[in-house]
Amino acid sequence: MSRHYKTVTLYRTSVTSINIRAFSPCKNLTTVTFQGTINANNLGFWDSFNNEFISSFDGGLREKYITGGPGTYKSNGYNSGSIWTKQM
């Protein structure tokens, strides 16, 4: 994925999981739209060696999506300090 993308749409029927750090190269990513439901366990993976869940997203987007469900989320910038909010 190009590092220049600012917006990503995850379509309802085509996305069932997102691999770890799938969007890491996208340093300009500020908008993600989930059109359907993705199981929380499919948004990263469990690292049994370190006993922790590794998210597919930086900045807490996974947690915001689990709480808020499908919709469009915007951030102030894509990094570990990102603040994601669901748009109404």
Instruction: Name the burial class of residue 74, with classes exposed (0-12), middle (13-18) and buried (19+) by CB atoms within 10 angstroms of its CB.
Output: middle
pLDDT band at 69 (very low <50, low <70, confident <90, very high): very high
pLDDT given for residue 3 in this prediction: 52
pLDDT for the residue 86: 95
CA dihedral 54→69→2→7, nearest 10 degrees, is: -150
Instruction: Kindly tell me the number of DSSP H helices and DSSP E strands found in the chain.
Output: 1, 6
The predicted model gives 38-65 an average pLDDT of 87
H-state helical runs in 11-79: 61-68
Q: What is the pLDDT confidence band of residue 19, given thresholds at 50, 70 and 90?
A: confident
What is the pLDDT of the chain when averaged over all its residues?
Answer: 82
Closest CA to 32 of 67, 2, 65: 65
Question: Helix, strand, or coil here: 49?
Answer: coil
